[in-house]
Each structure stands twice: as C-alpha cells, then as structure tokens.
Structure 1
C-alpha cells in the first residue's frame, strides 16, 4: 500500500472511445476488455488517473472509460443501474445499498483513508460557525446524505457532545460548496482537498473542524465497488483492474507525479496543488480496517443491522 493524492473534475471519459462496454475474449484472456468506471471530482482518484495516463490498464489488456458522478450516491446508482461496471465512491453509499438487500455489492479495490486536514468543515471567518459546537441546527453543505461527508461530520459532532439531529443538510457538488458558504446560502460546508485550499483562495473560507479526528482518525473514506454478478462472471477482468490500480497506487506516493494531475483534471493552479493536504491512499482492501465504516453507520441508524465486510471483498492481488 502507498500514499498520494489527486483529483478529477472531468465529466467525460478519459480515454474516449465508444460507449460500447461489451465483452470480448481477446488475446489477454480477459472476460471483458472494455469496462466503464464511474468517478467523482474528489482527491482520491490519483491512482486511477495515473493508471490511465501511464497505460497500466492497457498493459493489462483493459480499455477503461470513465463516467462522471456528482456524489458517491450518484456513482453507486450508476452501478446499480448497469451504466458502469465498477464505481468509485465513498464507502457509505455502498453499505447503504447493501443494507437494503437489493444489491450484491463487492469491493474490488481500496482508494483512501482520511489524513490530517484532508477532510474539513469550512466556514467564513466572520460567520456564525467558529467551532464544532456551533454546528447544531445549522445548514451544512455536503455532496449528498448518507455519504462520507455527513458521516464524518456526525461523528466529530457526536465526539464533542453536539446534537446533529437538527442539522439541515444541503446537497451541492464539491466545486460549488465554498461559494455557497461565501454567499451565506449555508453556514458551513464539508470539503476535501484540493477544494479546501482552492476555496480558501477563491472564497475566503477557513477550515473550522478537521473531521479526521477522534473516532474517525485514519477512517476509510472511499473505494471501488462492483456487483457480484460482474465479479463472478469476470474474475480475470477484475484482477487486471486491481493489478493496474495497485501499480498506480504505489507510484502515487511520489507527490511530484500527483500535482500535475490536480492542475490537469481539477483546473487548480500549481500553487494550490502544491499546498493541498494529502489523503492516505491504499489499494489492497483490509476487512478489519474497513469494518469500521458499517459499524459506525449502524451506530447512527443509517443501516439497520451489522454487515460483515469480509463477505464483500473479492480476492486481492499480491502487494509485493
């Protein structure tokens, strides 16, 4: 496992090509050589972009088309509808879907966990929110409910004895949250990097609360999931995806390879890219570590019963 960061704000396929993601049996022996992967404009996707740009998927015989999603919930919806073969999202909506009993979710690859100052609640310096205790009953912008955004926010509020039951959650895409805070449409907003740094520069917002603290320190934030029918029917394709992601994740430890991706895909300037705090990147899934997510969701009543993560993880490639 390795560390690194990056971001994408692209809404189209990085590799272009046809919308056809049908299966073929090429020389690679893969069950499916063309796949679609939904991604989000978040910091977590550096290894994915490295794998695309450096040809790691192609080396494995895979042609990968990316499909943009506005939130983790939207990304998982694309997976459930059959629009994509693999979905990147925060872990929360995967477990929500699993808990409803209508989706056989399998985790293919890990993506990230929250590093210090990489997931923050931001507000205006002259606003009503100065600390975590000021969040009770406020309007807080997040990408969507039942995502990592409100889960981390609820956890840090609970750790500090703050009631989150009357919070008004306002759904906005990450790029729009800082401006909404500045206008006063919301009292505060949840952001990841590089939106934290970018919004500070553009909107004058300031970080108020680091949500990667207390019960959510080094909390698993996001990963790549698929449906069981896909992982069962295409194990060689899944393994090829995993190997490419593992290779790229190791490379993402070199920050000099990451910052240009921020500039290219998020359209931030070089100065902003150089100042962003880093999430911790992983590729290989660990059931014991990931179990923290559904356990916390059950505590909040977001899912009704315990979920055994070990049953949701497909075989992982060697990290050697």
Structure 2
C-alpha cells in the first residue's frame, strides 16, 4: 500500500469496508470471479450514496466480491493509480473521463452509471439583493463552477444557449463546492453554480436566490458520473465487472427511497445538516446502463468543441 499512497501523493488511509481479502492480484474466487478483491477510489458526496448502501447491505459480498474503499478528495488523485493497476475502479465525473479517453490518456470503460441530472439538483444562486434575475442577466458576470471546462460548464452552456443567453460572455471561475457560498457572501463572485447539498444549505443560510435551474432542459437527465475502469481491466475481468455492476444497480434501486439515502449520508459524508438532507433535491440514481444518454453527453461536448473525436458510447459503456 506504500506504493499506492506515493502514487496519490497524499496521506490516505485504506478503509476496509467489507471483509478484507489478501493479495489483490487477479485470481479465481467466489463465483468464479477473476478478481474477487478490488480497490475502489471513492468520493464522499451525495451522488455516492448507492456505493455506501451496497457496502452496508453487503451487496458486494453477495456477489462474491470484496471491495477495499480508498477515500480521495478528488477523483483525479486516483488516475495515476488507475493507470498502474493499484486502483481497479474509480468513481468520477463523466466529462473528466471522456476528456482522458479522447486524448488517449485513459482508455476507459464505464462499469456502472452513477447519477443523472435532475431539475434543481444543481442551480445558479445569487445574493438576495443581486440585480441578476435570469440566465441572460449572467452575461458579463462571474459564475463559479467546481471545475473549469467540465460538467457544470458543459450543461449550463447548453441551458444558457437555449435561454437566449451567450455562454461565452459568462465569466466562469473555479471554486470548490464547499467554498462557493462564502465567496458569494463576501462579494467575490456575482453568482455560484452550486450542487446539492451545498445549494440548499446556501439558500437556507444566506437567503440565496436561484436564478437558473442547472438541471433544466436540454441538460435534464444527462449522465453526470459513474464507476470507471481501464478498458483493459474489463476485458480481463468481465465477471468481476459484472458482479460490481449488479451490486451497484441493486443499491441504486434502494437509493430511490430518499429515506435510505438520508440514513446512509451521515456514515460517510461529513457536515451535511440533517435538516438540509430532508429537503434537498436528489439526483436520479441510475439502475441501468444508458449508452444513448452517454452518447448525448458526448455529442454535446463535441458540439461545444470540448472533444476532438465523436466517441461511440457503445465502446465505453460496459454491458454484462
């Protein structure tokens, strides 16, 4: 594990969230899995609820699979380890992984979908006294996104264009979600493009006003994130990939009951106000693979000239 920490460049603690296996090298195990013990790099956001439900409910174990959860602050921290095989699967933003695939840096497969965008799961907020009242009013003003040139800008550019605004006149600034509300309150930003639970928290604490729905058409139901492996990994471990996918789908079905999500959040996501959790908007937790949806995101990124190649979603979405 020393090599793994070195690759990530930060001190991380390996959390064994199910019965620990031994050597993670490929070997036949329960149910004939090529790799019965895998390392998964995970975030601690609302969108990760199904994964932690799967761990708690022993859904991975039911498939003969032991998962070793490696917490990371950002999925990009795990990319070097994914390339070297120290991590088998990483939860990541779809756009980020598509960028890597397009450039040839990471030839990936989407083992299991994570979430899809719902209305008001993301949204643009301003302070109560702001003169900005709609998408058009954002022209010439600063707007935060968690990561520049990524899923928020991609989806919001599409929304702005359909609303008659010029996306090129929006001054995107990179500010991580937990810091957006404070920056807005101090006047460092004109508006913030927030995501749950930070969105609801900012509305409650600052009286922030939503001027644009970040989940509106044409972005509604676009796939946001998922569980990715290298393309070579799924080819070498198809039974393991299928077992992981089945467990995640069962957990995502459980997560359609928001009470189950509210119950699991405190076990892995720190700092979420229980009162916020009760009222915040949930994303759509995917229970199936949707190559057409992934293709829609790819086509949008090509249209916006963010991707060089029109990737065929059918070649990256793993089908068991």
TM-score, with length taken from structure 1: 0.86
Aligned residue for 1:36? 39
Aligned residue for 1:300? 304
Aligned residue for 2:278? 274
Q: Are residues 1:233 and 2:231 paired?
A: no
Q: Are residues 1:191 and 2:194 paired?
A: yes
Q: Give me the whole-angstrom Cα distance separating, in 1, the residues matched to 2:146 and 2:37.
A: 29
Instruction: Return the index of the structure with the highest Cα Rg.
Output: 2
SS of 2:203 mapped into structure 1: helix
Structure 1's 23 and 186: CA in aligned 2 closer, same or farther, altered over 3 A? farther
Q: Note the aligned Cα RMSD (angstroms).
A: 2.4
Q: Give me the whole-angstrom Cα distance separating, in 2, the residues matched to 1:241 and 1:55.
A: 12
- Tell me the CA shift for residue 210 of structure 1: 0.6
1:223 to 223, 226, 238: 226
Q: Give me the whole-angstrom Cα distance separating, in 2, the residues matched to 1:271 and 1:148.
A: 28
Note the residue ranges of structure 2 that are not aligned, 5 or more in a row. Answer: 1-11
SS of 1:154 mapped into structure 2: helix
SS of 1:122 mapped into structure 2: strand
| Aligned residue runs from structure 1 range 1-320, under 5 A | 13-15=14-16, 21-71=24-74, 73=76, 79-80=82-83, 82-266=85-269, 267-316=271-320
Q: Give me the whole-angstrom Cα distance separating, in 2, the residues matched to 1:276 and 1:77.
A: 34
Q: Give me the whole-angstrom Cα distance separating, in 2, the residues matched to 1:252 and 1:197.
A: 20
Structure 1's 20 and 180: CA in aligned 2 closer, same or farther, altered over 3 A? farther
Q: Give me the whole-angstrom Cα distance separating, in 2, the residues matched to 1:172 and 1:18.
A: 39
- Tell me the CA shift for residue 99 of structure 1: 1.2
SS of 1:202 mapped into structure 2: helix
Q: Give me the whole-angstrom Cα distance separating, in 2, the residues matched to 1:250 and 1:264.
A: 19
- Tell me the CA shift for residue 88 of structure 1: 1.5
Deviating more after overlay: 77-86 vs 147-156: 77-86
Partners of 2:107 and 2:231 within 8 A in 1: yes
SS of 1:283 mapped into structure 2: coil
Aligned residue for 2:9? none
Q: Give me the whole-angstrom Cα distance separating, in 1, the residues matched to 2:206 and 2:169.
A: 27
Q: Provide Cα deviations, 1:271-295, integer angstroms capped at 9, x if missing partner.
A: 1111011211113212122211010
- Tell me the CA shift for residue 70 of structure 1: 4.0
Partners of 1:30 and 1:236 within 8 A in 2: yes
Q: Give me the whole-angstrom Cα distance separating, in 2, the residues matched to 1:217 and 1:27.
A: 40
TM-score, with length taken from structure 2: 0.86
Note the residue ranges of structure 1 that are not aligned, 5 or more in a row. Answer: 1-10
Structure 1's 157 and 281: CA in aligned 2 closer, same or farther, altered over 3 A? same
- Tell me the CA shift for residue 296 of structure 1: 0.3
Q: Give me the whole-angstrom Cα distance separating, in 1, the residues matched to 2:83 and 2:137.
A: 38
Q: Give me the whole-angstrom Cα distance separating, in 1, the residues matched to 2:149 and 2:67.
A: 28
Aligned residue for 1:3? none
Q: Provide Cα deviations, 1:285-311, integer angstroms capped at 9, x if missing partner.
A: 121222110100011110023111011
Q: Give me the whole-angstrom Cα distance separating, in 2, the residues matched to 1:54 and 1:149.
A: 32
Partners of 2:21 and 2:37 within 8 A in 1: no
- Tell me the CA shift for residue 76 of structure 1: 5.2
